[in-house]
Amino acid sequence: MKTKNLASILSVLLISLAFGHAAAQGFQHADSLRITYIANYGALLQAGDKRVLIDGLFRQGVEGYARVPKVLLRDLEKNRGPFAGADVLLVSHPHADHFDASSVAAHLRKNSKAVLLSSQQVVSATHKALDGDANDRLIEATPEWKHREKRTVAGIEIDILRIRHGYAHNYSLHNLGHIIHLGGKKILHIGDAEMISENFALFDLPAEKIDVALLPYWFLTSASGSKIVRELIQPKAIIAMHIEPAQVSSISAEIAESFPSAHVFTRPMEKLVF
């Protein structure tokens, strides 16, 4: 009888310990940084009750690159499901595979707490699409090339970096990089940045100690891009994005050779926790 009672007590203790450990893990997880892939270079960043959407609200896209699946686009624009309650909407630049003014406007109309923080070009296009609605929730920040601005929106600190877009015919576009401070981590997103040292050197990103860099894949598969990542960014973790669906296998293999610890986002709603 004593043996049976002892066994029962031990079982209860083990279950209690396991439950306590799970609860503690769950508590830690609630405040952890979670990054969810949407499509192309778009992601949802979450930590605790704070949410940031970056480059995820677009409709048409660009031929060859991943588009937002229709069911996800509906949820994004209607402010529901996993995308409900975003605090900040960020847009790196006004290309169709990163931004659609009507899509951003649709979300702003449904989500009364969301604020758009972006360049003059993006804010102007969104202002027109809103036609008078929610214009008090549009914040413009357009630093000069190689300069930065710091903003705090909804309690989220964001550094806005003006980084030139790749290729001369795109130089007139306002391409923004962002350092997002969330969940005690720093997340870097650089838009379609040109792969030149001059774009990054003055920001002293190694001193920022970037925890997670969301990077266009070509920064990981080219000599010039890889040099920038290793010398001028030096992130603790890398997530490769902006990958053409038709080339997922070959590009993933190339990335694995140069940056074996990098994660490759290719499946909508794929999630990583840091």
196-230 per-position pLDDT tens digit = 999 999 999 999 999 999 999 999 999 999 999 99
CB atoms within 10 A of CB 224: 12
Report pLDDT for 29: 63
Q: What is the structure's pLDDT at 10?
A: 40
CATH class entry, domain 33-273:
alpha beta
Run of H or E residues at 107: helix 101-110
pTM assigned to the model: 0.89
pLDDT digits (tens), the chain, 274 positions: 444 444 444 443 333 434 343 333 444 467 899 999 999 999 999 999 999 999 999 999 999 999 999 999 999 999 999 999 999 999 999 999 999 999 999 999 999 999 999 999 999 999 999 998 888 999 999 999 999 999 999 999 999 999 999 999 999 999 999 999 999 999 999 999 999 999 999 999 999 999 999 999 999 999 999 999 999 999 999 999 999 999 999 999 999 999 999 999 999 999 999 9
Edge-to-edge order in the sheet of strand 237-241: 148-153, 156-162, 176-182, 185-189, 212-216, 237-241, 263-264
CB atoms within 10 A of CB 273: 12
- The pLDDT, as a whole number, for residue 19 is 37
Per-residue confidence (pLDDT) for residue 149, from 0 to 100: 99
* pLDDT at residue 15 in the model: 36
pLDDT of residue 16: 40
pLDDT at site 134: 83
Domain ranges of the chain: 33-273
22, burial (CB in 10 Å: exposed 0-12, middle 13-18, buried 19+):
exposed
pLDDT value at position 30?
A: 72
pLDDT score of 1 = 47
pLDDT 10s digits, 225-246: 999 999 999 999 999 999 999 9
Instruction: Identify the DSSP state of 67.
Output: P
